Amino acid sequence: MPRPRRPLLTRDRIVETALALIDADGLGALSTRRLAAALGVQGPSLYNHFATKDEILDAVADTVTVAVDTSGFASRDWLTALRDWAWSYRRALTAHPNIVPYLAQGPGRRPAALAMADAVYGGLVRAGWPPARATHIGAALRYFVAGSALGSFARGFVEDPELYAAHYPHLRQAHRLAEHQQSVDEGAFALGLDALLHGLAAEYTRTVETVESARPNG
């Protein structure tokens, strides 16, 4: 088949199909040939639209990231904005858990990921956090969200309770984790996020507000 009258592929169609395949079968199951087959095309044809497979994965990862809402940093206090962002971030990642290991390696050249980092950092600085602290806070929350979406604590355990009973006395009930996977993961996230934000709020009053009130214009 030579060049068709109307293109069979577009970047959007490729990204969309790739995400669907990753969601369905996992990151490891996505090969250029399988992806091409799902698009009704031969493998190398993809390289007319993307230079490498990693470029495809970058595009997939970025479409996942565009769903993250950072609007709170423009309209709410920093603590509320941080909480809303963290939950939105988590929802976006857990909607496509199989791409998370790839995505978690950093924003790199992905526009949506960079825009998100920019919004968070800018919002925190505007709220009075020193730049270095703003960087740390953004990073710490990203650690937490990425880790929570990546590991699915509950799913990480194995189904056979007998495997654990003998050697790990406290994990007797570990197999029950699978049953309540979602509630365990979400509960752990909620608890951890609340604790983190609680600690940050205390730090804020301790450093930022104190410093500002000590200045003449504070």
Partner DNA sequence: CTCATAAACTAGCGGTGTAAGTTTTCATTC
Partner DNA sequence: GAATGAAAACTTACACCGCTAGTTTATGAG
| Chain residues that interact with DNA, rule: CB under 7 A | 1-9, 30-34, 36, 41-45, 47-49, 51-54
> Which of residues 10 and 71 has its CB atom nearest to DNA in the complex?
10
Rule CB under 8 A: choose which of 3, 5, 6, 170 binds its own copies.
170
Does 71 bind its own copies (CB under 8 A)? Our answer is: no
State the number of binding residues for its own copies (CB under 8 A).
Answer: 68
Q: Report what 23 binds from DNA, its own copies, none; CB cut-off 5-8 Å by kind.
A: none
Smallest separation, CB 118 to its own copies (Å)? 4
Does 132 bind its own copies (CB under 8 A)? Our answer is: yes
> Which of residues 108 and 199 has its CB atom nearest to DNA in the complex?
108
Does 136 bind its own copies (CB under 8 A)? Our answer is: yes
CA pair distance 145, 115, nearest whole angstrom: 17
CA pair distance 87, 72, nearest whole angstrom: 12
The H-assigned helical ranges of 26-151 are 32-38, 53-65, 72-75, 78-94, 100-103, 111-126, 131-151
CA pair distance 84, 88, nearest whole angstrom: 6
Cβ–Cβ < 8 Å for 110, 156 = no
CA pair distance 83, 76, nearest whole angstrom: 11
Tokens of 34: 């399988």
> Which of residues 1 and 214 has its CB atom nearest to DNA in the complex?
1
> Which of residues 29 and 74 has its CB atom nearest to DNA in the complex?
29
